[in-house]
C-alpha cells in the first residue's frame, strides 16, 4: 500500500491526564505514522493503558488534543465518531470478547453495527477473519469460556479486524501467553502488517515483541514519551531507558532477535 | 400469615369475617406487589449488577464503546423493558396465590367456607383495589432494573467490587421500592382512592 500522505495517522499534542492528585501524563506529544508498528513501553503504572484508552476516546483527558485520521477525537460529532470506529480496531487484554456470543458472532458484531449485510455474507466474512488470525475453523462456534488464553486473544484480534481497519490498538497482547504463543502472536502481527498494510499501536511489556516487530518504540518516562527506533533508544542515556534495554532481560531479547528467526505464523497450538 | 394475625385481633369484636376484607385489600393493594418486587430485586436486580459488573471487569463494555455500540442501548434498555413487562405478571401471580393461601387458612382455622369467603371478598373490594397494586408494578420494576444496571456500571475492575456492589444494589432497590410505595400511598390517599 502506498502512503496516502506523510501526515501522521494519529497525532497527540499536549496531553494531560490526571487522576485525583496524580498526574500521569504531562504535556505528552506523539505521532504515529501510517504503516508503522509502534510499541509503547513504560513502567507499571506509568499510564500506558491510559494513553491507549485516551486515544480511542474511552478516557477524557484534562487537557490536550488527539487527532486520528485527521479528526479530533475529543470533539468529534456522532457521525465523525462512527467513521473513526469503522477505521480502527481495538484488542483489549484477554480479548474482552462478549461472553454470551460465540467467536463467530463476536466478529460479526462490528459488521452488524455499521453495515446492513445479508447474514450469509457476514458469516463468510467472519469465517475469513477467524482463519486470518490463525484460529482453526471450528473455533467460530465456540464460546469465549471454551477457549484458551491465546485463542481468546486471537479471537479478539479477529473482531478488531472485522471491518478491515487501517489501525489496530493492542493492549498488552502477549501478556499471559507462553513464549511460543507470544512468538506466534508477534509473527501474526508482522504478517498482517505486511499483507494488510496495518498500522499498529501496541502497548506492551514484552521486550521480545519490541525487538521482533516494532519499527519505533515510545517510552513513557517522566510523564512524557521518548520516541525513537530501537537503535536510538539503545544509545539513550536516561537511567530508566538504559536499565530497561540494557538490563539482563533486554540484552537477552536483543541477542535472541539477532540470533534466531522469529517463528513464522503457523498453526502452532496456542 | 396476615389472615392469622388479623383474625386474632378481630375475634375480640366477633368480627372474624372481616379477616377476608383485610386479606383482600391488604394483598391486592400492597403486599402482592411489594413481595413480588422484593423478591425480584433480590433475584434479578442482583443478577443485572453482577452481569454488567462482570462485563466491566472483563473490559467488554469498553470493547462495546470502541466498536460503536452504546452500552445503555444494548444492556440497559432490554433489561428495563423486560422487567417492566414481567413484574406486573408476577404481581398477578402473587395476588392470586396470596388470596388463595389466605382463603385456605381462613377455611382451616376460622371456619370460613370458600363460598362465604368469596361473597365477603366481593363486598370488600372496590374495582380499583385490584388496579392500585398492579399499577405500582411497572414503577417498581423501573426502580429495580435501573438501580441494578447503575450499580453494575459502577463496578471497578475487581471481583471484590462485583460482590460488594451486587449486595448494595439489592439493598438500594428494596429501599427505593418501599419509599416509592409510601409515595404512592400518599398520592392515593390524596386522591381518596
Q: Do B59 and A109 touch (CB under 8 A)?
A: no
Contacts of A109 in chain B (CB under 8 A): 67, 69
Contact assignment for B62 to A113 by CB distance below 8 Å: no
Nearest to A89 by CA among A124, A113, A60, A122: A113
Mutation pick from B57, B63, B74, B162 vs chain A, by most beta carbons of A within 10 Å, is: B63
CA atoms within 13 A on the CB side of B66: 32
CB neighbour class for B91 (10 Å; exposed up to 12, middle 13-18, buried from 19) = buried
What pLDDT, on the 0 to 100 scale, is given for residue B4?
75
Give the HSE-up count for residue A196: Cα atoms under 13 Å, Cβ half-sphere: 22
CA dihedral B75, B76, B82, B86 (to 10 degrees): 130
Closest by CA position to A139, among listed A126, A148, A130:
A130
- Chain A residue numbers with beta carbons less than 8 Å from the beta carbon of B60 are 96-99
H or E segment to which residue A140 belongs? none
Q: At CB < 8 Å, which residues of chain B contact A?
A: 54-55, 58-60, 62-69
Q: How confident is the model over B4-63, as pLDDT tens digits?
A: 777 788 888 888 778 788 888 888 888 889 999 999 999 999 999 999 999 999 999 999
Q: Confirm if A236 and A228 have CB atoms less than 8 A apart.
A: yes
Interface of A with B (CB under 8 A): 53, 56-58, 81-82, 85-86, 88, 90, 92-94, 96-99, 109-110, 113-114, 159
Contact B58 A99 (CB under 8 A): yes
Cβ-based neighbour number of residue A101 at 10 Å: 15
Q: Is A103 exposed, middle or buried (0-12, 13-18, 19+ CB in 10 A)?
A: buried
How many pairs of residues across A and B have Cβ atoms under 8 Å apart? 46
Looking at per-residue confidence, does A91 or B20 come out higher?
A91
How close, in Å, is residue B89 to chain A by CA atoms?
27
Q: The C-alpha cell of A159 is what?
A: 473482531
| Max mean pLDDT range (A134-138, A206-210, B146-150) | B146-150
* Whether A202 contacts A38, CB under 8 Å: yes
ipTM for the complex?
A: 0.83
Residue A67 reports pLDDT greater than 60: yes
pLDDT > 90? residue A196 = no
- Residue carrying C-alpha cell 499536549: A14
Cβ within 8 Å, pair B66-A99: no
**Which residues of chain B does A93 touch, with a Cβ-Cβ cutoff of 8 Å?**
59
* CB within 8 Å: A113 and B59: no
Shortest distance, CA B166 to any CA of chain A (angstroms): 19
Q: Which residue of A has its CA nearest to B66?
A: A85
Cβ–Cβ under 8 Å, residues A138 and A171: no
Q: Which residue blocks in chain B are alpha helix, DSSP H?
A: 2-11, 19-25, 32-40, 46-57, 60-67, 71, 77-110, 114-124, 127-154, 159-190
More confident: A248 or B38: B38
Q: How confident is the model at residue A5 (pLDDT cuts 50, 70, 90)?
A: low
Which residue did the predictor score with more confidence, A265 or A201? A201
- Give phi and psi for A143, each to the nearest 5: -90, 155
Contact residues for A10 (Cβ-Cβ < 8 A; gap 6+): A30, A31, A32, A55, A66, A67, A68, A167, A201
Average confidence (pLDDT) over A179-190 = 89
> Burial of B87 by CB count in 10 Å (0-12 exposed, 13-18 middle, 19+ buried)?
buried
Cβ of A113 within 8 Å of Cβ of B69? The answer is yes
Looking at residue A90, what is its pLDDT?
94
Helix (H) / strand (E) element for A191: namely: helix A179-196
Question: Any residues with CB less than 8 A from the CB of A92 and at least 6 apart, and which?
Answer: A156, A171, B59, B62, B63
Helix, strand or coil for residue A116? coil
pLDDT bin (cut points 50, 70, 90) of residue A2 is very low
Write down the pTM of the prediction: 0.84
Reported as type and span, the H/E element at residue A21 is none
Residue A203: is its pLDDT beyond 80?
A: yes
Count Cβ atoms within 10 A of the Cβ of residue A114 and give its class: 0-12 exposed, 13-18 middle, 19 or more buried: middle
Instruction: Express each pLDDT in B131-160 by its tens digit.
Output: 888 999 999 999 999 999 999 999 988 888
The answer to whether the Cβ–Cβ distance between A85 and B55 falls below 8 Å is no
- Across chain B, mean pLDDT equals 89
pLDDT confidence of residue A6? 67
Q: How do beta strands A71-72 and A88-91 pair?
A: unpaired
Mean pLDDT along residues B59-74? 92
CA distance A225 to A236: 13
Q: Tell me the percentage of chain A whose pLDDT exceeds 90.
A: 45
Amino acid at each position: 500500500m502506498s502512503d496516502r500522505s506523510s501526515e501522521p495517522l494519529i497525532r497527540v499534542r499536549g496531553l494531560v491526564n490526571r487522576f485525583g492528585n496524580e498526574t500521569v501524563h504531562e504535556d505528552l506529544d506523539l505521532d504515529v505514522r501510517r504503516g508503522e508498528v509502534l510499541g509503547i513501553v513504560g513502567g507499571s503504572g506509568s499510564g500506558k493503558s491510559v494513553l491507549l484508552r485516551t486515544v480511542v476516546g474511552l478516557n477524557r483527558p484534562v487537557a490536550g488534543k488527539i487527532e486520528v485520521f485527521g479528526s479530533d477525537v475529543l470533539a468529534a460529532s456522532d457521525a465523525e465518531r462512527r467513521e473513526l470506529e469503522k477505521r480502527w480496531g481495538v484488542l483489549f487484554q484477554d480479548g474482552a470478547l462478549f461472553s454470551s456470543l460465540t467467536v463467530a458472532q463476536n466478529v460479526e458484531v462490528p459488521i452488524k453495527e455499521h453495515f446492513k449485510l445479508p447474514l450469509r455474507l457476514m458469516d463468510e466474512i467472519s469465517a475469513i477473519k477467524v482463519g486470518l488470525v490463525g484460529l482453526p475453523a471450528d473455533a467460530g462456534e465456540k464460546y469465549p469460556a471454551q477457549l484458551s488464553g491465546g485463542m481468546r486473544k486471537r479471537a479478539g484480534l479477529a473482531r478488531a479486524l472485522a471491518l478491515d481497519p487501517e489501525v489496530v490498538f493492542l493492549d498488552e497482547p502477549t501478556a499471559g501467553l507462553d513464549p511460543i504463543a507470544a512468538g506466534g502472536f508477534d509473527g501474526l502481527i508482522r504478517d498482517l502488517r505486511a499483507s494488510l498494510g496495518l498500522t499498529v499501536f501496541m502497548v506492551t511489556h514484552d521486550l521480545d515483541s519490541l525487538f521482533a516487530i516494532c519499527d519505533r518504540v515510545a517510552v513513557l518516562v517522566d510523564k512524557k514519551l521518548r520516541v525513537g527506533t530501537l537503535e536510538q533508544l539503545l544509545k539513550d542515556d536516561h537511567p530508566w531507558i538504559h536499565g530497561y534495554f540494557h538490563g539482563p532481560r533486554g540484552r537477552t531479547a536483543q541477542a535472541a532477535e539477532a540470533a534466531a528467526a522469529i517463528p513464522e505464523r503457523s498453526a502452532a497450538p496456542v | 400469615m396476615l389472615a392469622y394475625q388479623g383474625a386474632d385481633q378481630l375475634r375480640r369484636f366477633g368480627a372474624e369475617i372481616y379477616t377476608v376484607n383485610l386479606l383482600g385489600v391488604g394483598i391486592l393493594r400492597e403486599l402482592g406487589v411489594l413481595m413480588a418486587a422484593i423478591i425480584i430485586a433480590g433475584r434479578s436486580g442482583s443478577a443485572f449488577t453482577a452481569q454488567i459488573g462482570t462485563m466491566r471487569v472483563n473490559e467488554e463494555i469498553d470493547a462495546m464503546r470502541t466498536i460503536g455500540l452504546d452500552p445503555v442501548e444494548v444492556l440497559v434498555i432490554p433489561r428495563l423493558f423486560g422487567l417492566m413487562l414481567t413484574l406486573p405478571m408476577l404481581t398477578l401471580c402473587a395476588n392470586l396465590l396470596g388470596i388463595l393461601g389466605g382463603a385456605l387458612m381462613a377455611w382451616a382455622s376460622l371456619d370460613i367456607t370458600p363460598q362465604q369467603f368469596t361473597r365477603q371478598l366481593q363486598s370488600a373490594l372496590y374495582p380499583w383495589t385490584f388496579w392500585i397494586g398492579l399499577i405500582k408494578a411497572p414503577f417498581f420494576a423501573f426502580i429495580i432494573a435501573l438501580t441494578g444496571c447503575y450499580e453494575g456500571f459502577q463496578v471497578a475492575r475487581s471481583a471484590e467490587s462485583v460482590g460488594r456492589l451486587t449486595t448494595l444494589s439489592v439493598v438500594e432497590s428494596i429501599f427505593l421500592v418501599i419509599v416509592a410505595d409510601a409515595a404512592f400511598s400518599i398520592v392515593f390517599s390524596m386522591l381518596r382512592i
